[in-house]
Amino acid sequence: MYEFWSCPIISKLVKICRDILSGSEQSQEPHTAASFSKPLVVTREHHVVSRKQLSPNALKVLYRLKDAGYDAYLVGGCIRDILLGLEPKDFDVVTNATPEQIKKQFRNCRLIGRRFRLAHIMFGREIIEVATMRGHHSVEQEEKNKSQASDQGQLLRDNVYGTIDEDAERRDFSINALYYSINDFSIHDFAGGIEAIKNRRIELIGDPETRYREDPVRMLRAVRFATKLDMTIAPATEKPMFKLASLLGNIPAARLFEEMLKLFLNGKAEANFDLLRHYGLFTYLFPALDSLLNKQPDGPELALIKQVLSNTDKRINAGKKVTPAYLIAAFLWYPLQAQAKRITAQGETPFNAFNIAMNQILSDSAKAIAVPKRFTIGAREIWQLQHRFDKRGGQRAFRLTQQPRFRAAKDFFCLRAQFEPELTELATWWDNYTEQDAGSQKRMVSELNKGSKSGGNYRRRRPRKPKNSSNKRHD
């Protein structure tokens, strides 16, 4: 990793940045509009960002916009990550061209979004997102339907365009208000982002409460950036999160599902879970589970969830895949069990109660996060297979292994056994069974059935009575 901060020139630039942003004593405070009057410009020879580290497709977009007479910058996470010594994954571009003007320059462009109008430039599987520089809102603009805010201050529509200075003020965190110019390869720092990176601090630009009200998802992003970048959330930035967490209830369920994936499938799931619960944000993603965890803080529920997230982090950091269906099944398993128990107490059979509870839990969960059907189907299959692991006689064990979701269901069953002692022996049997060849598997089932005629929950069928030959039809 390049020791970016060991360079004396950079240290001097950081000092200049601190002086520009009203002095080191005020550096912990949110940056206001006055902070943007004189941005810090780091010339090419004084920073480590090289075009070799950038996506060739992103460079194509930048150069084409530049050649067409527009201003174009790389912005946000890609610049931040390179300064931190990380490999950037996404390359976002900002320009003074409108979405329609961008589309005219690229045949492989599609415009998306209503709340934020964006241009996606398609290069095979890589997408370069291009946004028009945002401006400030006014009553006149709201009347023209260019922008719209709710009674709580949340921005419902935000297609007001402006200058790069205004766009920087509209960015969420100071570490994301870094602009790389394709004209002279300099970095423009409008909000003390370089200093925030040095101090490893997540801080909102502007008044934190106002910014959270504009877009409550920023609270989730603050958590995700803090764990992903190994930073701390600045006191002024985290203070309003406790009282404004309820604003997440106004966010569309589909958007919260996308944020949930970013939080729990980025290799920092366990750390994100802890921070979300600390700030009271988790309940707006999985209310049923959060309620259960609050009622039983020392029960197996919390231990299982923590282990699931720890295992998820290990798989993702090892380059392995994790299906959201497995996470949904794990998060909602104990709420499902509790609901099925309540329905059984009302007189339903356990089998019917379980199926009714599945529908109710998934329906209630959809009010918070809109999980696509392909993942809820997967979660259902994992749940249903949990009740088949004790049925091993005859061909049942083999047939169970042929189910599409068997591996995920078996992993979850064995995980449950770590916190539910009554499942330990059965889980060990299945671990051994899946490691054997076909012949050994048959012997395991035979030995299981020797102890009892009903061993492995296998029941011999009664022989059919022969049909009466007199009842046969004769033509």
pLDDT means over runs of 10, the chain (475 residues):
43 47 39 57 90 94 96 92 90 94 94 85 94 72 48 54 89 93 92 92 94 95 96 96 95 95 95 97 96 90 96 95 95 96 94 96 95 96 96 92 95 95 95 93 86 50 58 47
Give the three-class secondary structure for 400: helix
Tokens of 315: 């798989």
Residue 256 maps to a domain: no
CA distances from 409 to 37, 236, 382, 405, 424 (A): 57, 44, 5, 6, 15
Residue 165 maps to a domain: yes
Same domain? For 185 and 333 the reply is no
Residue 91 maps to a domain: yes
Residue 66 maps to a domain: yes
Spot the catalytic one: 81, 158, 167, 172: 172
Residues 6+ apart with CB under 8 A from 27: 18, 21, 192, 195, 199
Same domain? For 302 and 432 the reply is yes
Spot the catalytic one: 90, 207, 274, 364: 90
Q: Within 13 A of 388's CA, how many CA atoms are on the CB side? A: 18
Give the three-class secondary structure for 394: coil
Residue 473 maps to a domain: no
Residue 466 maps to a domain: no
Instruction: State the Cα–Cα distance between residues 20 and 16, nearest whole angstrom.
Output: 6
Q: What does the pLDDT read at residue 106?
A: 95
Same domain? For 72 and 125 the reply is yes
Same domain? For 170 and 237 the reply is yes
Same domain? For 137 and 230 the reply is yes
Domain that holds residue 330: 287-457
Q: What does the pLDDT read at residue 135?
A: 81
User: How many structural domains does the chain have?
Assistant: 2
In sequence order, which ranges of 300-372 are alpha helices (DSSP H)? 300-317, 324-345, 350-366
Decide: 427 and 414 in contact? Cβ < 8 Å. Answer: yes
Same domain? For 211 and 292 the reply is no
Spot the catalytic one: 92, 167, 189, 215: 92
Same domain? For 344 and 431 the reply is yes
Q: Give the end-to-end CA distance of the chain in Å, rounded to a whole number.
A: 90
Instruction: State the Cα–Cα distance between residues 58 and 329, nearest whole angstrom.
Output: 38
Question: Residues for the chain: how many in total?
Answer: 475
Q: Is 172 a known active-site residue?
A: yes
Q: Is 475 a known active-site residue?
A: no
Instruction: State the Cα–Cα distance between residues 328 and 378, nearest whole angstrom.
Output: 9
Q: Is 215 a known active-site residue?
A: no
pTM score of the predicted model: 0.81
Instruction: State the Cα–Cα distance between residues 281 and 246, nearest whole angstrom.
Output: 8
Same domain? For 131 and 29 the reply is yes
Residue 268 maps to a domain: no
| Phi–psi pair at 441, nearest 5 degrees | -65, -40
Domain CATH for 435: 1.10.3090.10
Same domain? For 216 and 306 the reply is no
Q: Give me the DSSP letters along 345-358.
A: HTT--HHHHHHHHH
Q: What does the pLDDT read at residue 451?
A: 57
Decide: 282 and 266 in contact? Cβ < 8 Å. Answer: no
Instruction: State the Cα–Cα distance between residues 181 and 75, nearest whole angstrom.
Output: 9
Q: Which residue, 91, 124, 127, is CA-closest to 112? A: 127
Instruction: State the Cα–Cα distance between residues 166 and 158, nearest whole angstrom.
Output: 13
Residue 264 maps to a domain: no
Query: What is the separation of C-alpha 34 from the centre of its chain, rounded to a whole number of angstroms?
Result: 34
| Phi–psi pair at 321, nearest 5 degrees | -90, 150
Between CA 66 and CA 70, with CA 69 as vertex, the angle to 5 degrees is 65
Same domain? For 221 and 345 the reply is no
Same domain? For 157 and 300 the reply is no
Buried b (16+ CB within 10 A) or exposed e, 55-77: bebbbebbeebeeeebbbbbbbb
Same domain? For 73 and 200 the reply is yes
Q: Give me the DSSP letters along 129-170.
A: EEEEPB----HHHHHTTSEEE-TTS-EEEE--B--HHHHHHH
Domain CATH for 233: 3.30.460.10
